[in-house]
Structure 1
Amino acid sequence: MNAPSTLLRSESPASGRVPHWEWQYLDLMRHIWEHGDERVDRTGVGTRSVFGATIRFDLADGAMPLLSTKRVYWKTATRELLWFLTGDTNIRSLCAQGVQIWTDWPLDRYRRETGDQISRADFSDRIVADAAFAEKWGDLGPVYGKQWVDWPVFEDAGNGLFRRREQGINQVAQVIASLQENPGSRRHIIEGWNVAELDAMALPPCHKTYQFHVAGGRLSCLLYQRSCDLGLGFAFNMWSLALLTRMFAQQCNLEPGEVVWTGGDVHLYLNHGALVEEQISRKPEGQATLEILRRPQSVFDYRIEDFEVRGYAPQSHISAPVAV
């Protein structure tokens, strides 16, 4: 079952006023829950799914796409994005900041391989405290950040042999330079889907392809996400897309434009029924804005303290289990 091509509430309000952007999300959630194809998925939990959906958001006047119908922990999402930009693939620095987004995957592997049913909190604490333990059990393989800033390159070593370069391709740096030097290019792309390394990743990239576009002095970005957990993951994905676009715009002396999120398999997990029913019963309101408090020397030098969100008054958090 495909997503509807037109979401009437978000595009044609009877009042004639521009509707809150979040109706796009809520209408898509309702459509998937009521009409999505029920499928057996990798996790064994099961989903209701549609194929192909798009949500757009204008970044003008500092606006940011934070959901108002539930609390989104934007600092956690920001710490994850900054971690991606370091190229690090070990959860140790995230755990040290209290960010547990990626802990479940190495924890699951540790429990399976050792038989030790350690708690999540104790596992995270040990990752932080014990460097050797973190090196053995905390690495995720060549996930997002590795591909973004160190895509592997092999060179001829002679005699039919090849060796891997010490430093791979920094796609992020290349795109920043390309935006500055050739803004009209159609090749401003950051790609995470490295086919040769998928099996080495704890989780293949879901938000896989970012394409940037300059028009009228404004920088826009389209994200193609092959797989989206609409109930939990989308809120972070949309925030990070908008934040990355703002950071790139600042570095390139451009105004932020529009972000376009496009999902392939967009789904809700069957055990998220309570989350769905509660969230679609709520009405979006208000608009969060973001100020970047300084301009670092490069896109790799931002810190969590550089970002200040204003006007964010969400409704209460809605919890739901993560499918690993």
Structure 2
Amino acid sequence: MLRHPEYQYLDLIEHLLEKGSRRIDRTGVGTQSMFGAMMRFDLSDGTFPVFTTKRVYWKTAVKEMLWFLTGQTNIQSLLRENVRIWTDWPLDKYRKATGENISQDDFEAKVLADDEFAQRWGDLGPVYGKQWRRWVDANGKEHDQIATLIQTLKTNPASRRMLFHAWNVGELDQMALPPCHMTYQFYVSEREEFGEKKQIISMLCLQRSADCGLGVPFNSCQQAALLAMIAQQVDMVPGELIWMGGDVHLYLNHFDLAKTLLSREPRPFPKLRLIRRPDTIDGYRIEDFEVTGYDPYPAIEAPVAV
């Protein structure tokens, strides 16, 4: 019997607990870390790698990916979708700038209700979506990396230049958080089924900084959703999602979470079906994602390091 692919993730957790290098990190919380890791997930049968040893809020993850694809950088549109995962950074900036110890709920309510307040305090700087869709070069020309990728997949799928990334050195200091999942590369192969040739598209994502407790389960399922969307747009079959981590770490205040994960046996991954094909990559909505068979263990609460 094949080993459940989620054990790749649990093996990382176990390695970090037992052999991770203790480090003081940017947040001051501290981590146990390792350098270099890889996981591979076969999506060709509709598998959606949403980890099961704790509930992963896959809709929130996919909504964030859809937000990246719009090129937007303000949390107001995320909050309208009830996605609160980026609030910590502008909230921290607002508190430090004003000295006001405003609650997260009140801050988010002001961002939602007041466009002027949102414009001033809700913007994250030139984060992922800006770089993916509107990278500005030295001559002021904008580059839409996603559109270029899709066009290349359609016209030259053997290219070794099918990638996009967000590590814009000249704008890092303007970002609320430099990109963690920073480089996406694509690869197309062929296989024959019943006398018909099919093109298989695989995607590799390099994550320079990988929070194994909270971030990795969230990122891996949204990356799988991205691969499914792009495959549909270029009339290909999803192949493998290959996740690679650089600094892979476990925060010191996530040890209880990690031990609970290791005490649980993975359950079958769910399946994903896109129930509609929009005209472009820009047209997807959360309602287009039909996920069936997701039966995870309960969620585990853990703090986010800012």
- Work out whether the TM-score is over 0.5: yes
User: What letter is aligned with 2:269?
Assistant: Q
CA drift of 1:58 comes to: 0.2
Question: Equivalent residue for 2:50?
Answer: 66
User: What letter is aligned with 1:287?
Assistant: F
User: What letter is aligned with 2:9?
Assistant: Y
Question: Equivalent residue for 1:255?
Answer: 237
TM-score by length of 2: 0.96
CA drift of 1:287 comes to: 2.0
Question: Equivalent residue for 1:297?
Answer: 279
Aligned-residue CA RMSD in angstroms? 0.7
Q: Does 1:229 align with 2:211?
A: yes
CA drift of 1:201 comes to: 0.3
**Take 2:176 and 2:220, find their aligned partners in 1: how far apart are those partners?**
22
Question: Equivalent residue for 2:147?
Answer: 173
Question: Equivalent residue for 1:20?
Answer: 4
Q: How many residues align?
A: 298
| Cα deviations by residue, 1:119-163 (Å, 9 ceiling, x for unpaired) | 1111111100010110010000000000000001232xxxxxxxx
Secondary structure of residue in 2 paired with 1:266: strand
Question: Equivalent residue for 2:193?
Answer: none
Residue of structure 1 aligned with 2:138, choices 132, 140, 154? 154
Question: Equivalent residue for 1:309?
Answer: 291
**Take 1:185 and 1:97, find their aligned partners in 2: how far apart are those partners?**
37
Q: Give the share of equivalent positions with the same residue, in percent.
A: 56
After the TM superposition, which residues 41-80 of structure 1 pair with which residues of structure 2 at under 5 Å, given as runs? 41-80=25-64
Q: Does 1:266 align with 2:240?
A: no
After the TM superposition, which residues 30-41 of structure 1 pair with which residues of structure 2 at under 5 Å, given as runs? 30-41=14-25
**Take 1:56 and 1:287, find their aligned partners in 2: how far apart are those partners?**
14
User: What letter is aligned with 1:117?
Assistant: N
**Take 2:217 and 2:164, find their aligned partners in 1: how far apart are those partners?**
21
After the TM superposition, which residues 112-151 of structure 1 pair with which residues of structure 2 at under 5 Å, given as runs? 112-151=96-135
Unaligned runs of 5+ in 2: 191-198
Query: Is this contact kept in 1: 2:51–2:269, CA < 8 A?
Result: no
User: What letter is aligned with 1:190?
Assistant: F
Q: Does 1:220 align with 2:194?
A: no
User: What letter is aligned with 2:215?
Assistant: G
Secondary structure of residue in 2 paired with 1:56: strand
**Take 2:107 and 2:256, find their aligned partners in 1: how far apart are those partners?**
29
Secondary structure of residue in 2 paired with 1:99: coil
**Take 2:269 and 2:121, find their aligned partners in 1: how far apart are those partners?**
41
User: What letter is aligned with 1:221?
Assistant: M
**Take 1:90 and 1:250, find their aligned partners in 2: how far apart are those partners?**
28
**Take 2:177 and 2:157, find their aligned partners in 1: how far apart are those partners?**
33
CA drift of 1:240 comes to: 1.4
**Take 1:286 and 1:225, find their aligned partners in 2: how far apart are those partners?**
25
| Cα deviations by residue, 1:196-231 (Å, 9 ceiling, x for unpaired) | 000000000000000000001100000011000000
Q: Does 1:106 align with 2:80?
A: no
User: What letter is aligned with 1:27?
Assistant: D
CA drift of 1:96 comes to: 1.4
Question: Equivalent residue for 2:266?
Answer: 284
Secondary structure of residue in 2 paired with 1:62: coil
Structure 1 stretches of 4+ with a deviation exceeding 3 A read none
**Take 2:269 and 2:126, find their aligned partners in 1: how far apart are those partners?**
36
| Cα deviations by residue, 1:242-289 (Å, 9 ceiling, x for unpaired) | 111111100001000000000000000001111111111111011200
CA drift of 1:176 comes to: 0.2
User: What letter is aligned with 1:59?
Assistant: L
